[in-house]
Structure 1
Amino acid sequence: MPDLSVAIGRYNHSAAALDGGVASPLVLHDAGIKPISRAFAPMVREGRFEVSEMAIATFLMAKAWGKPLVLLPVVMAARFQEGALLCRADGPVRAPGDLRGRRVGVRAYSQTTGLWLRGTLQHEHGVAPDGIRWVTFEDAHVAEYADPSFVERAPPGSDLLALLKDGTLDAAIFGNDTPDDRALRPVFPDVAAAGEAFRTRHGFVPVNHLLVLRRDVAESRPDIAAELVRLFNGTTRAALNPAIELAIRFSAEQDLLPRPLTTDEVWEGLPPEVA
Protein backbone atom coordinates (compact mmCIF):
# COMPACT_ATOMS: atom_id res chain seq x y z
CA MET A 1 0.00 0.00 0.00
CA PRO A 2 1.15 3.58 -0.60
CA ASP A 3 2.22 6.30 1.78
CA LEU A 4 -0.66 8.60 2.67
CA SER A 5 -0.83 12.27 3.61
CA VAL A 6 -3.18 12.54 6.58
CA ALA A 7 -4.58 15.15 8.96
CA ILE A 8 -5.78 13.36 12.07
CA GLY A 9 -5.94 14.51 15.68
CA ARG A 10 -3.90 12.76 18.32
CA TYR A 11 -6.14 10.96 20.78
CA ASN A 12 -5.64 7.93 22.98
CA HIS A 13 -7.18 5.79 20.24
CA SER A 14 -5.25 7.33 17.32
CA ALA A 15 -1.73 8.03 18.60
CA ALA A 16 -0.44 4.47 18.21
CA ALA A 17 -1.63 4.23 14.60
CA LEU A 18 -0.12 7.62 13.75
CA ASP A 19 3.19 6.70 15.36
CA GLY A 20 3.47 3.33 13.66
CA GLY A 21 2.73 1.44 16.87
CA VAL A 22 0.04 -0.63 15.15
CA ALA A 23 1.22 -3.00 12.43
CA SER A 24 -0.09 -1.88 9.04
CA PRO A 25 1.05 -1.78 5.41
CA LEU A 26 0.01 1.88 5.35
CA VAL A 27 2.58 4.59 6.04
CA LEU A 28 0.85 7.67 7.42
CA HIS A 29 2.45 11.10 7.09
CA ASP A 30 0.53 13.29 9.49
CA ALA A 31 0.36 17.02 8.79
CA GLY A 32 0.41 17.77 12.52
CA ILE A 33 -2.28 20.44 12.31
CA LYS A 34 -3.50 21.81 15.67
CA PRO A 35 -6.29 22.26 16.38
CA ILE A 36 -7.42 19.62 13.93
CA SER A 37 -10.39 21.76 12.86
CA ARG A 38 -7.87 23.86 10.88
CA ALA A 39 -7.52 20.92 8.49
CA PHE A 40 -11.19 20.79 7.53
CA ALA A 41 -11.35 23.79 5.17
CA PRO A 42 -8.26 22.83 3.11
CA MET A 43 -9.54 19.27 2.86
CA VAL A 44 -12.98 20.39 1.67
CA ARG A 45 -11.80 23.20 -0.59
CA GLU A 46 -8.55 21.74 -2.01
CA GLY A 47 -8.45 18.04 -1.18
CA ARG A 48 -5.10 18.81 0.40
CA PHE A 49 -4.80 15.48 2.21
CA GLU A 50 -5.61 11.95 1.14
CA VAL A 51 -7.17 11.20 4.53
CA SER A 52 -8.56 13.67 7.04
CA GLU A 53 -10.53 13.87 10.23
CA MET A 54 -13.63 15.98 9.65
CA ALA A 55 -16.54 17.37 11.65
CA ILE A 56 -19.84 15.73 10.81
CA ALA A 57 -21.54 19.04 10.01
CA THR A 58 -18.70 20.00 7.66
CA PHE A 59 -18.88 16.65 5.89
CA LEU A 60 -22.66 16.81 5.39
CA MET A 61 -22.36 20.31 3.96
CA ALA A 62 -19.46 19.23 1.73
CA LYS A 63 -21.44 16.25 0.48
CA ALA A 64 -24.47 18.40 -0.32
CA TRP A 65 -22.21 20.69 -2.37
CA GLY A 66 -20.72 17.74 -4.27
CA LYS A 67 -17.21 17.68 -2.81
CA PRO A 68 -15.25 14.52 -3.78
CA LEU A 69 -15.01 12.99 -0.32
CA VAL A 70 -15.90 9.53 0.99
CA LEU A 71 -17.02 9.05 4.58
CA LEU A 72 -15.50 6.16 6.54
CA PRO A 73 -17.30 4.58 9.52
CA VAL A 74 -14.59 5.71 11.93
CA VAL A 75 -15.48 7.96 14.86
CA MET A 76 -12.57 10.16 15.89
CA ALA A 77 -14.39 12.27 18.49
CA ALA A 78 -17.78 12.04 20.20
CA ARG A 79 -19.06 13.70 23.36
CA PHE A 80 -22.06 15.16 25.09
CA GLN A 81 -22.34 18.83 24.10
CA GLU A 82 -24.23 20.51 26.91
CA GLY A 83 -21.15 21.49 28.91
CA ALA A 84 -19.88 23.58 25.98
CA LEU A 85 -22.73 26.14 26.24
CA LEU A 86 -21.74 28.71 28.85
CA CYS A 87 -23.14 31.94 30.25
CA ARG A 88 -21.98 34.36 32.93
CA ALA A 89 -22.44 33.10 36.48
CA ASP A 90 -24.05 36.45 37.45
CA GLY A 91 -26.04 36.83 34.23
CA PRO A 92 -29.78 36.60 33.51
CA VAL A 93 -29.68 33.25 31.69
CA ARG A 94 -30.71 30.51 34.11
CA ALA A 95 -31.84 27.72 31.74
CA PRO A 96 -31.83 26.87 28.01
CA GLY A 97 -35.26 28.41 27.43
CA ASP A 98 -33.89 31.78 28.52
CA LEU A 99 -31.80 31.99 25.33
CA ARG A 100 -34.77 32.94 23.20
CA GLY A 101 -34.09 36.38 21.70
CA ARG A 102 -30.60 36.59 23.18
CA ARG A 103 -27.14 36.87 21.64
CA VAL A 104 -25.16 33.62 21.57
CA GLY A 105 -21.63 33.43 20.22
CA VAL A 106 -20.07 30.49 18.40
CA ARG A 107 -16.88 30.15 16.36
CA ALA A 108 -18.88 29.46 13.20
CA TYR A 109 -22.58 28.84 12.71
CA SER A 110 -21.67 25.55 11.03
CA GLN A 111 -19.63 24.27 13.99
CA THR A 112 -20.74 20.74 14.91
CA THR A 113 -21.10 21.45 18.62
CA GLY A 114 -23.53 24.19 17.65
CA LEU A 115 -25.40 21.80 15.35
CA TRP A 116 -26.11 19.35 18.18
CA LEU A 117 -26.90 22.05 20.74
CA ARG A 118 -29.30 23.93 18.44
CA GLY A 119 -31.13 20.66 17.81
CA THR A 120 -31.56 20.11 21.54
CA LEU A 121 -32.58 23.72 22.12
CA GLN A 122 -35.22 23.48 19.40
CA HIS A 123 -36.71 20.09 20.16
CA GLU A 124 -36.39 19.92 23.93
CA HIS A 125 -36.64 23.58 24.98
CA GLY A 126 -38.71 25.22 22.25
CA VAL A 127 -35.99 27.63 21.10
CA ALA A 128 -35.74 27.55 17.29
CA PRO A 129 -32.43 28.42 15.58
CA ASP A 130 -33.85 31.70 14.28
CA GLY A 131 -35.10 32.56 17.76
CA ILE A 132 -31.53 33.33 18.81
CA ARG A 133 -29.24 36.10 17.55
CA TRP A 134 -26.13 34.11 16.61
CA VAL A 135 -22.78 35.90 16.59
CA THR A 136 -19.97 34.18 14.66
CA PHE A 137 -16.23 34.71 14.21
CA GLU A 138 -15.39 32.59 11.13
CA ASP A 139 -16.82 31.42 7.83
CA ALA A 140 -17.90 27.82 7.29
CA HIS A 141 -15.32 25.33 6.03
CA VAL A 142 -17.41 24.93 2.86
CA ALA A 143 -16.76 28.08 0.85
CA GLU A 144 -20.12 28.02 -0.95
CA TYR A 145 -22.10 28.35 2.27
CA ALA A 146 -23.55 31.66 3.42
CA ASP A 147 -24.82 32.14 6.97
CA PRO A 148 -28.59 32.60 7.47
CA SER A 149 -30.03 36.08 7.93
CA PHE A 150 -30.31 35.64 11.71
CA VAL A 151 -26.53 35.24 12.02
CA GLU A 152 -24.19 38.22 12.37
CA ARG A 153 -20.41 38.50 12.36
CA ALA A 154 -18.52 39.72 15.41
CA PRO A 155 -16.31 42.79 14.92
CA PRO A 156 -12.88 41.95 13.46
CA GLY A 157 -10.33 41.08 16.10
CA SER A 158 -12.91 40.34 18.80
CA ASP A 159 -12.70 37.32 21.05
CA LEU A 160 -15.50 34.90 21.93
CA LEU A 161 -14.60 34.56 25.60
CA ALA A 162 -14.01 38.28 26.07
CA LEU A 163 -17.38 39.19 24.54
CA LEU A 164 -19.12 36.71 26.81
CA LYS A 165 -17.43 37.98 29.95
CA ASP A 166 -18.07 41.67 29.19
CA GLY A 167 -21.77 41.04 28.59
CA THR A 168 -21.83 41.64 24.82
CA LEU A 169 -22.93 38.02 24.48
CA ASP A 170 -25.50 36.36 26.72
CA ALA A 171 -24.03 32.90 26.14
CA ALA A 172 -21.39 31.21 24.01
CA ILE A 173 -20.63 27.78 22.57
CA PHE A 174 -17.10 26.50 22.93
CA GLY A 175 -15.47 23.28 21.75
CA ASN A 176 -12.40 21.52 23.05
CA ASP A 177 -11.32 24.93 24.33
CA THR A 178 -14.17 25.28 26.83
CA PRO A 179 -12.78 27.58 29.55
CA ASP A 180 -12.59 26.68 33.21
CA ASP A 181 -13.59 30.02 34.68
CA ARG A 182 -15.49 30.61 37.90
CA ALA A 183 -17.12 33.67 36.35
CA LEU A 184 -18.95 31.35 33.94
CA ARG A 185 -21.39 28.45 34.30
CA PRO A 186 -23.22 26.07 31.98
CA VAL A 187 -26.58 27.16 30.59
CA PHE A 188 -27.88 23.64 31.30
CA PRO A 189 -28.27 23.52 35.10
CA ASP A 190 -27.35 19.80 35.23
CA VAL A 191 -24.94 19.06 32.38
CA ALA A 192 -24.59 15.35 33.13
CA ALA A 193 -28.33 14.80 33.30
CA ALA A 194 -28.87 16.71 30.05
CA GLY A 195 -26.27 14.56 28.29
CA GLU A 196 -27.83 11.35 29.55
CA ALA A 197 -31.25 12.61 28.48
CA PHE A 198 -29.91 13.00 24.95
CA ARG A 199 -28.56 9.44 24.98
CA THR A 200 -31.87 8.11 26.31
CA ARG A 201 -33.82 9.88 23.58
CA HIS A 202 -31.55 9.04 20.66
CA GLY A 203 -29.50 6.03 21.71
CA PHE A 204 -26.02 7.44 21.10
CA VAL A 205 -23.45 9.99 22.19
CA PRO A 206 -23.31 12.87 19.66
CA VAL A 207 -20.59 12.35 17.05
CA ASN A 208 -18.30 15.32 16.44
CA HIS A 209 -15.59 14.05 14.09
CA LEU A 210 -15.32 11.17 11.62
CA LEU A 211 -12.70 10.11 9.10
CA VAL A 212 -12.92 10.93 5.38
CA LEU A 213 -10.99 9.76 2.34
CA ARG A 214 -10.52 11.58 -0.94
CA ARG A 215 -12.75 10.02 -3.58
CA ASP A 216 -9.92 9.40 -6.06
CA VAL A 217 -8.09 7.37 -3.43
CA ALA A 218 -11.20 5.40 -2.46
CA GLU A 219 -11.94 4.58 -6.09
CA SER A 220 -8.42 3.56 -7.08
CA ARG A 221 -7.55 1.66 -3.91
CA PRO A 222 -10.64 0.44 -2.01
CA ASP A 223 -8.33 -1.70 0.14
CA ILE A 224 -7.02 1.53 1.71
CA ALA A 225 -10.48 2.34 3.08
CA ALA A 226 -10.76 -1.10 4.65
CA GLU A 227 -7.31 -0.82 6.22
CA LEU A 228 -8.05 2.64 7.66
CA VAL A 229 -11.23 1.33 9.25
CA ARG A 230 -9.25 -1.51 10.81
CA LEU A 231 -6.36 0.69 11.85
CA PHE A 232 -8.53 3.25 13.64
CA ASN A 233 -10.97 0.77 15.17
CA GLY A 234 -13.88 1.71 12.97
CA THR A 235 -17.43 0.43 13.15
CA THR A 236 -20.11 -0.07 10.47
CA ARG A 237 -22.30 2.31 8.57
CA ALA A 238 -25.37 0.67 10.14
CA ALA A 239 -24.06 1.43 13.61
CA LEU A 240 -23.52 5.10 12.71
CA ASN A 241 -26.74 5.65 10.77
CA PRO A 242 -28.79 6.87 13.77
CA ALA A 243 -26.26 9.66 14.39
CA ILE A 244 -26.00 10.43 10.67
CA GLU A 245 -29.77 10.59 10.25
CA LEU A 246 -30.23 12.96 13.17
CA ALA A 247 -27.34 15.15 12.03
CA ILE A 248 -28.93 15.37 8.56
CA ARG A 249 -32.26 16.35 10.12
CA PHE A 250 -30.74 19.00 12.35
CA SER A 251 -28.60 20.36 9.48
CA ALA A 252 -31.66 20.77 7.26
CA GLU A 253 -33.69 22.44 10.01
CA GLN A 254 -30.85 24.85 10.74
CA ASP A 255 -30.34 26.01 7.13
CA LEU A 256 -26.94 24.35 6.78
CA LEU A 257 -27.70 22.37 3.62
CA PRO A 258 -28.58 23.56 0.10
CA ARG A 259 -30.70 20.43 -0.43
CA PRO A 260 -31.87 17.37 1.49
CA LEU A 261 -29.52 14.39 1.88
CA THR A 262 -30.18 10.70 2.35
CA THR A 263 -27.98 8.29 4.27
CA ASP A 264 -27.24 6.46 1.01
CA GLU A 265 -25.82 9.70 -0.40
CA VAL A 266 -23.79 10.27 2.74
CA TRP A 267 -22.13 6.85 2.37
CA GLU A 268 -21.72 7.08 -1.42
CA GLY A 269 -18.32 5.80 -2.51
CA LEU A 270 -17.72 3.63 0.54
CA PRO A 271 -16.36 0.31 -0.77
CA PRO A 272 -18.86 -2.57 -0.28
CA GLU A 273 -16.38 -4.58 1.74
CA VAL A 274 -16.28 -1.77 4.33
CA ALA A 275 -19.99 -1.02 4.55
Structure 2
Amino acid sequence: MSRVPLTLAISDYDHVRDLVAGRVPVEGVDLTCLQLDVEEIFYRFTSFREWHVSELSLTKYVALARDGTLAAIPVFPSRVFRHSAVYVARDSGVTDLAGARVGVPEWFQTAGVWVRGILADEYGLSLDAIRWVQAGVREPGRRELFTPPVPIDVIADRTLTDMLVTGDLDAVITARPPAHPDVVPLWPDAFDRERDWHRRTGIFPIMHVVVVRRDILDAHPWLAANLVTAFTEARDRSLARLADLNASRFPVPWLPSFAAGTTFPYGVEPNRRTLETFLRYAHEQGITPEKLTVDELFPASVRSAYRI
Protein backbone atom coordinates (compact mmCIF):
# COMPACT_ATOMS: atom_id res chain seq x y z
CA MET A 1 0.00 0.00 0.00
CA SER A 2 1.38 3.42 -0.91
CA ARG A 3 2.19 5.79 1.91
CA VAL A 4 1.41 9.50 2.00
CA PRO A 5 4.59 11.60 1.58
CA LEU A 6 4.62 14.41 4.15
CA THR A 7 7.16 16.96 5.31
CA LEU A 8 7.22 18.08 8.94
CA ALA A 9 9.14 21.09 10.25
CA ILE A 10 9.84 21.12 13.97
CA SER A 11 12.55 22.31 16.31
CA ASP A 12 15.04 20.04 18.06
CA TYR A 13 13.30 18.59 21.12
CA ASP A 14 14.11 15.35 22.90
CA HIS A 15 10.39 14.54 23.02
CA VAL A 16 10.19 14.44 19.21
CA ARG A 17 13.59 12.81 18.70
CA ASP A 18 12.34 9.28 18.02
CA LEU A 19 9.72 10.57 15.59
CA VAL A 20 12.25 12.64 13.66
CA ALA A 21 14.73 9.75 13.61
CA GLY A 22 12.10 7.36 12.25
CA ARG A 23 12.12 5.07 15.30
CA VAL A 24 8.48 6.02 15.86
CA PRO A 25 6.63 5.89 12.53
CA VAL A 26 3.45 7.71 11.60
CA GLU A 27 1.14 4.97 10.35
CA GLY A 28 0.48 5.37 6.62
CA VAL A 29 3.02 8.18 6.16
CA ASP A 30 6.43 8.53 4.54
CA LEU A 31 7.75 11.38 6.71
CA THR A 32 10.53 13.84 5.90
CA CYS A 33 11.57 16.01 8.87
CA LEU A 34 13.17 19.44 8.83
CA GLN A 35 14.67 20.64 12.11
CA LEU A 36 15.00 24.42 12.16
CA ASP A 37 14.96 27.25 14.68
CA VAL A 38 11.42 28.13 15.67
CA GLU A 39 11.60 31.69 14.32
CA GLU A 40 12.53 30.35 10.88
CA ILE A 41 9.80 27.71 10.99
CA PHE A 42 7.13 30.23 11.95
CA TYR A 43 8.21 32.80 9.36
CA ARG A 44 8.47 30.39 6.44
CA PHE A 45 5.33 28.43 7.20
CA THR A 46 3.14 31.41 8.01
CA SER A 47 4.34 33.27 4.93
CA PHE A 48 4.72 30.50 2.36
CA ARG A 49 3.27 27.17 3.67
CA GLU A 50 6.43 25.41 2.48
CA TRP A 51 5.64 22.06 4.15
CA HIS A 52 2.62 20.00 5.14
CA VAL A 53 2.86 19.70 8.93
CA SER A 54 4.48 22.32 11.12
CA GLU A 55 5.23 23.44 14.60
CA LEU A 56 3.64 26.86 14.94
CA SER A 57 3.28 29.59 17.52
CA LEU A 58 -0.06 29.13 19.27
CA THR A 59 -0.79 32.84 18.78
CA LYS A 60 -0.17 32.70 15.05
CA TYR A 61 -2.38 29.64 14.73
CA VAL A 62 -5.17 31.27 16.72
CA ALA A 63 -4.92 34.36 14.53
CA LEU A 64 -5.35 32.14 11.45
CA ALA A 65 -7.79 29.63 12.93
CA ARG A 66 -10.88 30.85 11.13
CA ASP A 67 -9.40 31.33 7.66
CA GLY A 68 -9.84 27.62 6.90
CA THR A 69 -6.31 26.88 5.71
CA LEU A 70 -4.94 25.10 8.80
CA ALA A 71 -6.03 22.68 11.49
CA ALA A 72 -4.21 21.93 14.73
CA ILE A 73 -3.70 18.67 16.53
CA PRO A 74 -3.47 18.74 20.36
CA VAL A 75 0.30 18.23 20.44
CA PHE A 76 2.22 21.01 22.17
CA PRO A 77 5.98 20.71 21.63
CA SER A 78 6.90 23.79 23.67
CA ARG A 79 5.46 24.79 27.05
CA VAL A 80 7.22 27.38 29.21
CA PHE A 81 6.21 29.38 32.27
CA ARG A 82 6.73 33.04 31.42
CA HIS A 83 7.02 35.19 34.55
CA SER A 84 10.73 35.05 33.73
CA ALA A 85 10.22 36.56 30.24
CA VAL A 86 10.16 40.20 31.42
CA TYR A 87 13.54 41.94 31.37
CA VAL A 88 14.91 45.27 32.62
CA ALA A 89 18.29 46.96 32.72
CA ARG A 90 20.28 45.88 35.77
CA ASP A 91 20.51 49.25 37.52
CA SER A 92 17.37 50.87 36.11
CA GLY A 93 15.34 50.64 39.30
CA VAL A 94 12.26 49.61 37.29
CA THR A 95 9.85 47.58 39.42
CA ASP A 96 6.45 48.60 38.00
CA LEU A 97 5.41 48.68 34.36
CA ALA A 98 2.48 51.10 34.75
CA GLY A 99 3.06 53.86 32.19
CA ALA A 100 6.31 52.24 31.10
CA ARG A 101 7.77 52.01 27.60
CA VAL A 102 7.93 48.27 26.90
CA GLY A 103 9.42 46.47 23.91
CA VAL A 104 8.21 43.28 22.26
CA PRO A 105 9.68 41.40 19.27
CA GLU A 106 6.13 40.81 18.01
CA TRP A 107 2.73 41.57 19.50
CA PHE A 108 1.76 38.12 18.23
CA GLN A 109 4.53 36.27 20.10
CA THR A 110 2.89 33.71 22.38
CA ALA A 111 5.19 34.41 25.33
CA GLY A 112 4.07 38.03 25.21
CA VAL A 113 0.39 37.10 25.15
CA TRP A 114 0.86 35.04 28.32
CA VAL A 115 2.90 37.73 30.08
CA ARG A 116 0.47 40.51 29.23
CA GLY A 117 -2.44 38.39 30.41
CA ILE A 118 -0.67 37.61 33.67
CA LEU A 119 0.20 41.27 34.20
CA ALA A 120 -3.45 42.19 33.78
CA ASP A 121 -4.93 39.28 35.77
CA GLU A 122 -2.42 38.97 38.59
CA TYR A 123 -1.08 42.50 38.98
CA GLY A 124 -3.98 44.66 37.78
CA LEU A 125 -1.88 46.35 35.11
CA SER A 126 -3.80 48.19 32.39
CA LEU A 127 -2.18 47.27 29.08
CA ASP A 128 -3.52 50.50 27.58
CA ALA A 129 -1.32 52.44 30.00
CA ILE A 130 1.86 50.99 28.48
CA ARG A 131 3.66 52.52 25.50
CA TRP A 132 4.51 49.60 23.25
CA VAL A 133 7.56 49.32 20.97
CA GLN A 134 8.28 46.59 18.41
CA ALA A 135 11.78 45.64 17.20
CA GLY A 136 14.13 42.67 16.97
CA VAL A 137 15.60 41.37 20.21
CA ARG A 138 19.15 40.88 18.94
CA GLU A 139 18.96 41.99 15.30
CA PRO A 140 17.29 45.12 13.92
CA GLY A 141 14.61 44.90 11.27
CA ARG A 142 12.35 42.20 12.67
CA ARG A 143 8.82 42.61 11.33
CA GLU A 144 5.41 41.46 12.47
CA LEU A 145 3.69 38.91 10.23
CA PHE A 146 0.31 40.31 11.31
CA THR A 147 -0.93 43.86 11.80
CA PRO A 148 -0.79 44.75 15.51
CA PRO A 149 -4.24 45.61 16.90
CA VAL A 150 -2.83 48.24 19.29
CA PRO A 151 -0.80 51.44 18.83
CA ILE A 152 2.84 50.38 18.69
CA ASP A 153 6.04 52.16 17.67
CA VAL A 154 8.04 50.16 15.13
CA ILE A 155 11.80 50.72 15.40
CA ALA A 156 13.52 49.22 12.38
CA ASP A 157 17.13 50.31 12.94
CA ARG A 158 17.74 49.34 16.59
CA THR A 159 17.32 46.27 18.77
CA LEU A 160 15.25 45.88 21.91
CA THR A 161 18.39 44.92 23.80
CA ASP A 162 20.18 48.12 22.79
CA MET A 163 17.19 50.31 23.66
CA LEU A 164 16.81 48.61 27.03
CA VAL A 165 20.46 49.04 27.99
CA THR A 166 20.55 52.71 26.90
CA GLY A 167 17.39 53.54 28.83
CA ASP A 168 15.13 54.10 25.83
CA LEU A 169 12.96 51.24 27.04
CA ASP A 170 11.91 50.45 30.59
CA ALA A 171 11.36 46.75 29.98
CA VAL A 172 11.25 44.07 27.30
CA ILE A 173 8.89 41.09 27.10
CA THR A 174 10.46 38.34 25.00
CA ALA A 175 10.72 34.55 24.78
CA ARG A 176 14.36 34.70 23.63
CA PRO A 177 16.35 36.51 26.34
CA PRO A 178 18.39 39.61 25.47
CA ALA A 179 22.04 38.56 25.34
CA HIS A 180 23.60 41.31 27.44
CA PRO A 181 25.23 41.18 30.92
CA ASP A 182 23.40 44.33 32.04
CA VAL A 183 19.94 42.86 31.36
CA VAL A 184 18.19 40.97 34.18
CA PRO A 185 14.68 39.61 34.84
CA LEU A 186 12.16 42.06 36.25
CA TRP A 187 11.33 39.49 38.94
CA PRO A 188 14.41 37.77 40.41
CA ASP A 189 12.01 35.34 42.11
CA ALA A 190 10.25 34.47 38.84
CA PHE A 191 10.61 30.73 39.44
CA ASP A 192 8.77 30.94 42.76
CA ARG A 193 6.08 33.14 41.19
CA GLU A 194 5.62 30.65 38.37
CA ARG A 195 5.24 27.72 40.74
CA ASP A 196 2.77 29.60 42.93
CA TRP A 197 0.73 30.68 39.90
CA HIS A 198 0.68 27.13 38.56
CA ARG A 199 -0.43 25.79 41.95
CA ARG A 200 -3.28 28.30 42.15
CA THR A 201 -4.47 28.17 38.54
CA GLY A 202 -3.49 24.72 37.25
CA ILE A 203 -2.28 26.39 34.04
CA PHE A 204 0.81 25.10 32.21
CA PRO A 205 1.37 27.68 29.44
CA ILE A 206 1.38 26.34 25.89
CA MET A 207 3.75 28.12 23.50
CA HIS A 208 3.61 26.04 20.32
CA VAL A 209 1.17 23.67 18.64
CA VAL A 210 1.45 21.27 15.70
CA VAL A 211 -0.67 22.22 12.69
CA VAL A 212 -1.57 20.50 9.43
CA ARG A 213 -2.44 22.16 6.15
CA ARG A 214 -6.17 21.79 5.65
CA ASP A 215 -5.81 20.59 2.05
CA ILE A 216 -3.72 17.65 3.29
CA LEU A 217 -6.17 16.82 6.06
CA ASP A 218 -9.14 17.02 3.70
CA ALA A 219 -7.44 14.51 1.41
CA HIS A 220 -6.43 12.19 4.28
CA PRO A 221 -8.82 12.64 7.26
CA TRP A 222 -7.12 9.84 9.21
CA LEU A 223 -3.85 11.74 9.32
CA ALA A 224 -4.61 13.92 12.37
CA ALA A 225 -5.17 11.01 14.76
CA ASN A 226 -2.19 9.07 13.41
CA LEU A 227 0.07 12.09 13.99
CA VAL A 228 -1.17 12.45 17.56
CA THR A 229 -0.43 8.76 18.21
CA ALA A 230 3.12 9.07 16.89
CA PHE A 231 3.92 12.30 18.71
CA THR A 232 2.57 10.80 21.94
CA GLU A 233 4.73 7.68 21.59
CA ALA A 234 7.82 9.85 20.96
CA ARG A 235 7.04 11.96 24.04
CA ASP A 236 6.53 8.88 26.20
CA ARG A 237 9.90 7.52 25.14
CA SER A 238 11.51 10.83 26.08
CA LEU A 239 9.89 10.77 29.51
CA ALA A 240 11.11 7.20 30.00
CA ARG A 241 14.67 8.34 29.25
CA LEU A 242 14.28 11.15 31.76
CA ALA A 243 13.04 8.76 34.45
CA ASP A 244 15.86 6.26 33.89
CA LEU A 245 18.01 6.20 37.04
CA ASN A 246 20.48 3.70 35.63
CA ALA A 247 22.34 6.28 33.55
CA SER A 248 22.46 10.06 33.24
CA ARG A 249 20.57 10.61 29.98
CA PHE A 250 20.69 14.39 30.38
CA PRO A 251 23.67 16.41 31.68
CA VAL A 252 21.72 17.91 34.61
CA PRO A 253 22.06 16.53 38.18
CA TRP A 254 18.93 15.40 40.08
CA LEU A 255 16.75 15.96 37.02
CA PRO A 256 14.82 12.66 37.29
CA SER A 257 13.96 13.39 40.92
CA PHE A 258 13.00 16.98 40.16
CA ALA A 259 10.78 15.90 37.26
CA ALA A 260 9.09 13.01 39.08
CA GLY A 261 5.33 13.37 39.06
CA THR A 262 5.26 16.11 36.42
CA THR A 263 3.45 15.75 33.12
CA PHE A 264 3.67 17.22 29.63
CA PRO A 265 0.10 16.54 28.52
CA TYR A 266 -1.16 16.33 24.97
CA GLY A 267 -4.85 16.11 24.11
CA VAL A 268 -7.72 18.60 24.36
CA GLU A 269 -9.31 17.82 27.71
CA PRO A 270 -6.12 17.79 29.83
CA ASN A 271 -5.33 21.23 28.40
CA ARG A 272 -8.78 22.79 28.22
CA ARG A 273 -8.29 25.24 31.10
CA THR A 274 -4.92 26.38 29.77
CA LEU A 275 -6.33 26.83 26.28
CA GLU A 276 -9.44 28.65 27.52
CA THR A 277 -7.29 31.10 29.44
CA PHE A 278 -5.06 31.69 26.44
CA LEU A 279 -8.05 32.27 24.14
CA ARG A 280 -9.41 34.83 26.60
CA TYR A 281 -6.06 36.62 26.67
CA ALA A 282 -5.86 36.53 22.86
CA HIS A 283 -9.26 38.13 22.52
CA GLU A 284 -8.61 40.75 25.20
CA GLN A 285 -5.37 41.71 23.46
CA GLY A 286 -6.89 42.01 19.99
CA ILE A 287 -5.33 38.86 18.54
CA THR A 288 -8.81 37.54 17.66
CA PRO A 289 -11.78 39.85 16.94
CA GLU A 290 -14.07 37.32 18.63
CA LYS A 291 -13.28 34.93 21.44
CA LEU A 292 -12.66 31.47 20.02
CA THR A 293 -13.66 28.25 21.73
CA VAL A 294 -11.22 25.43 22.39
CA ASP A 295 -13.14 23.03 20.16
CA GLU A 296 -12.79 25.39 17.18
CA LEU A 297 -9.03 24.84 17.23
CA PHE A 298 -9.02 21.08 16.58
CA PRO A 299 -10.73 18.62 14.21
CA ALA A 300 -13.42 16.47 15.80
CA SER A 301 -11.30 13.36 15.21
CA VAL A 302 -8.68 14.43 17.79
CA ARG A 303 -10.88 16.03 20.45
CA SER A 304 -11.34 12.65 22.13
CA ALA A 305 -9.73 9.23 22.00
CA TYR A 306 -10.89 5.64 22.16
CA ARG A 307 -10.53 3.61 25.33
CA ILE A 308 -10.02 -0.14 25.73
> What residue number does 2:257 align with?
none
Letter in 2 for 1:31: L
Deviation of the 1:21 alpha carbon: 2.5
Structure number with higher relative contact order (C-alpha < 8 Å, ≥ 6 residues apart) = 1
Residues 221-248 of structure 1, C-alpha deviations (whole Å, 9 max, x = no match): 1222122111111722111221211111
In the TM superposition, what are the counterparts of 1:1-275 in structure 2 within 5 Å?
A: 1-25=3-27, 26-33=29-36, 35-64=37-66, 66-94=67-95, 98-137=96-135, 138-141=142-145, 145-154=146-155, 156-175=156-175, 177-179=176-178, 181-233=180-232, 235-267=266-298, 269-271=299-301
* Larger deviation, residues 228-237 vs 166-175: 228-237
Deviation of the 1:45 alpha carbon: 4.0
**Cα distance in 2 between the residues matched to 1:211 and 1:198:** 26
Letter in 2 for 1:255: G
Contact 1:226 / 1:273 at 8 angstroms: preserved in 2?
A: no
**Cα distance in 2 between the residues matched to 1:15 and 1:157:** 38
**Aligned with 2:75: secondary structure?**
strand
Contact 1:130 / 1:150 at 8 angstroms: preserved in 2?
A: no
Letter in 2 for 1:52: S
Contact 1:72 / 1:270 at 8 angstroms: preserved in 2?
A: no
Mind listing any 5+ residue stretches in structure 1 that lack a counterpart?
A: none
**Cα distance in 1 between the residues matched to 2:24 and 2:205:** 27
**Aligned with 1:200: secondary structure?**
helix
**Cα distance in 1 between the residues matched to 2:21 and 2:157:** 37
Deviation of the 1:179 alpha carbon: 4.0
Aligned length: 264
Contact 2:268 / 2:303 at 8 angstroms: preserved in 1?
A: no
Contact 1:78 / 1:209 at 8 angstroms: preserved in 2?
A: yes
Contact 2:295 / 2:303 at 8 angstroms: preserved in 1?
A: no
Normalised by the size of structure 1, how large is the TM-score? Answer: 0.88
RMSD of aligned alpha carbons: 2.0
Distance 1:174 1:99, change over 3 A: same
Deviation of the 1:82 alpha carbon: 1.4
Distance 1:160 1:272, change over 3 A: closer
Letter in 1 for 2:71: V
Q: Percent sequence identity over matched residues?
A: 29
Mind listing any 5+ residue stretches in structure 2 that lack a counterpart?
A: 136-141, 233-264
Contact 2:267 / 2:303 at 8 angstroms: preserved in 1?
A: no
Normalised by the size of structure 2, how large is the TM-score? Answer: 0.79
Deviation of the 1:107 alpha carbon: 0.7
Larger radius of gyration: 2
**Cα distance in 2 between the residues matched to 1:182 and 1:132:** 25
**Cα distance in 2 between the residues matched to 1:261 and 1:14:** 28
